Amino acid sequence: MRAEETHRLSVARPSPRTLARRHPHLAAALAVVAWLAFAIGLHPLTLPDEGRYVGVAWEMMRSGDWLVPMQNGLPFFHKPPLFYWLTALSMEVFGVHVAAARLAPLLLAILAMLGLWATTRRRCGAAIANATVLVLATMPFFFGAAHFANLDMPVAACIALTTVFAADAALALREGAPSRRLLVLAWACAALGVLAKGLIGIVLPGLVLVLWLLALRQARTILRLISPPGVAVFLLIAAPWFVLVQERYPGFLHFFFVYQHFERYTAGGFNNREPWWFYLAVLFALALPWSLWLVRARLAARTTERIDGRAWRTLMWVWLAVVVAFFSLPQSKPVGYVMPALFPLAFLIAEPALAAWQGGRTAARRTVAASLGLAVAICLVALGVAATSHGRDHTALAHALRDARAPGDPVVFVQEYFFDVPLHARLRDPVTVIADWRDPDILKHDNWRRELAEAAPFASERAAALLVDARQGFRLRCGKAPLWALVKSSDAPIVAALPDTLRVAATHHAELWRIAPRTCTSTESPP
């Protein structure tokens, strides 16, 4: 009887190999997801970027205020809230750890790949769709970005989904096929793109689509993409957050749209100043070895190719050119900004690689296989470097602070903002930051001081209590509780000069000090 039951169970539950044969697309999709996800929690948060944005999500989660992003208790209006919402929700559900903090970009990367695959399959066939996803998933730039907790992948994914859904709808309009659902979906993705990083979520795909349709001599289709139901969905998703925040903080819209968008795009007082050709070099280097296949990519289609395929290839060339040109104009060029170009780049690389594979020649197939193997190897090596040689990581200091500090003991950061410490130490309150906040050059340097100083006008009373000079900050030792100070090793003499101090821990050029409490008069300086 037991043997019969075992046999029935084995028949009812096919083996993984059998499932792979019956559902090859599902098996391939699961393999891609596993490839992108397996390393999601293998290395600490990268500073400052991952620490900054995950820290904002942590404050949103612990404070319960899901409307206004906060950095150290002050409004952080540099970016919209989508990443913070998703990351805070992930940590709420799965726990506060690195993998949960990186889940949002991973999921959005997978969704964007799925959208690109589905639309490319419909317009160009299954073979090129599968090849595009394979190239994209093993491209070192994309692989690393898929589990890097910042806003670059979320907005790139939304831009990609908006572009492919709207382009698919445009081709459907030309054919007289149904397009309303595709248009509504495209407008919804554009709204999410705006909530991911601002106007770029709709401006960039809009520019790509307009230039593409003009290249196809389909100018009339441009107006047909402005779908009333789609626009309504866009406004319903994107507008409420901006309206509500403006009501709570007058001046927010000017700061967000005028200063953070137009002035950052046109001004030169920000980090990452690079020459005009920077992104061309970035795409070539970070897409190796696949980028070498671009020399065989085709600008025009063969006469025997289906019309959809020619139009889709034109879309990819326009998409790639627009993204690179758009972000090459400003002087400031952070590497992640060009990420929306990875999706068309993967398609344009996949075409010649697939043609070489399908050609049947052994040498050509070996070249394709070697490219795939080398791409995987580069991804794994980069992952190993990230996991073993991170130069800044304050997790150990944060854990030492959490273990030694009693609830309610005051904490100060001295001459530095330690983005990952509030998260790892589970701090429930903002931290006093000691620095020279009267320095007139603060707004000239694009760093943490500027971020906190720019938030001060929106919450002046809180800023006055949190952004203080040394005299005010070290007075927190007055009373019965010790003061805990985190400081870079180079600035440690500032703390060591105080009486009754003890260095508790040190790692990665940063130190944790305990400053004993003392009784202070109203006129006495704490040291």
d(CA 28, CA 375): 18
Lowest mean pLDDT among 35-49, 97-111, 235-249: 35-49
Please work out, in degrees rounded to the nearest 5, the angle formed at the alpha carbon of residue 115 by the alpha carbons of 109 and 159.
65
Q: Which residues of 448-482 are buried (b: 16+ CB within 10 A; e: fewer)?
A: bbbbbbbbbebbeebbeebbbebeebbbbbbeebb
pTM, two decimals, is 0.91
What mean pLDDT is predicted for residues 127-135?
94
Those residues with Cβ within 8 angstroms of residue 30's Cβ, 6 or more apart along the chain or in another chain: none
Peptide bond into 352 cis (omega under 30): no
Lowest mean pLDDT among 115-119, 177-181, 183-187, 310-314: 177-181
At 31 the pLDDT is 87
* CA-derived radius of gyration, the chain: 26
Half-sphere exposure of 234 (CA within 13 A, CB side): 20
Write down the residue that tokens 């990443």 correspond to: 83
What are the extents of the domains in the chain?
106-248+271-379, 395-515
Please provide the DSSP assignment of 131-160 as one string. Answer: HHHHHHHH-HHHHHHTT--SSHHHHHHHHH
At 526 the pLDDT is 47
Structure tokens at 80: 């919209």
Burial of 484 (0-12, 13-18, 19+ CB in 10 A): buried
What mean pLDDT is predicted for residues 240-246?
96
Whether the Cβ atoms of residue 141 and residue 336 lie closer than 8 Å to each other: no
306 pLDDT band, cuts 50/70/90, is low
pLDDT, tens digit (0-9, with 9 covering 90-100), for 385-418 = 887 776 788 999 999 999 999 988 999 999 999 9
What mean pLDDT is predicted for residues 138-164?
95
Give the count of beta carbons closer than 10 Å to the beta carbon of residue 329. Answer: 10
d(CA 349, CA 501): 60
d(CA 120, CA 460): 51
Q: Where are the alpha helices (DSSP H) in 333-392?
A: 342-358, 362-388
pLDDT over threshold 90, residue 28: no
Provide long-range contacts, Cβ within 8 A and 24+ apart, for 131-136: 131/350, 131/351, 131/353, 131/354, 131/357, 132/346, 132/347, 132/350, 133/32, 133/346, 134/32, 134/350, 134/372, 135/290, 135/346, 135/349, 135/350, 135/353, 136/342, 136/343, 136/346
89 phi-psi bin (left φ>0, alpha ψ -120 to 50, beta other) = alpha
SS3 category, 506: strand
Half-sphere exposure of 319 (CA within 13 A, CB side): 27
At 440 the pLDDT is 85
User: How far does CA 264 lie from the centroid of its chain?
Assistant: 19
Lowest mean pLDDT among 1-10, 347-356, 371-380: 1-10
Give the count of beta carbons closer than 10 Å to the beta carbon of residue 366. Answer: 11
pLDDT over threshold 80, residue 151: yes
What mean pLDDT is predicted for residues 129-146?
95
d(CA 28, CA 373): 17
Strand pairing partners for 502?
514
Q: Which of 90, 88, 82, 86 is nearest to 64 (CA)?
A: 88
At 30 the pLDDT is 87
Q: Which of 332, 287, 340, 280 is nearest to 153 (CA)?
A: 340
Residue 12, phi then psi, degrees to nearest 5: -70, -30
At 265 the pLDDT is 62
| 161: enclosing H helix or E strand | helix 152-175
